[in-house]
Amino acid sequence: MDPLRAQQLAAELEVDMMADMYNRMTQACHRKCVPPHYKDVELSKGESVCLDRCVAKYLEVHERMGKKLTELSLQDEELLKRMQQGTGTA
């Protein structure tokens, strides 16, 4: 696969993953903060505050997980390199 095509696929995957994260966050926070039977046309102050907090927590956890997964991936790559060097393979 040529590098340009690989870069395009990676960009498409990133967009898909972000859209999925947004959809999951929207569903989870709506389910948690907004009652199933609407009483008013607009969100109440309590619902708005709940949604703000829910979104902030969701994004914070998503960022932490991304950092941790990146860290683990780098550790795995380093371990693989050391193993390959130890066995003499490239």
DSSP string, the chain: --HHHHHHHHHHHHHHHHHHHHHHHHHHHHHHHS-SS--SSS--HHHHHHHHHHHHHHHHHHHHHHHHHHHHHHHHHHHHHHHHHHHT--
Q: Which residue has the higher pLDDT, 23 or 1?
A: 23
Q: Where do the structural domains in the chain lie, given as residue ranges?
A: 3-87
Q: Rounded mean pLDDT of the chain?
A: 90
Sorting pLDDT into bands at 50, 70 and 90, what band is 1?
Answer: confident
CATH code for residues 3-87: 1.10.287.810
Sorting pLDDT into bands at 50, 70 and 90, what band is 45?
Answer: very high
Residues 11-30, mean pLDDT to the nearest whole number: 93
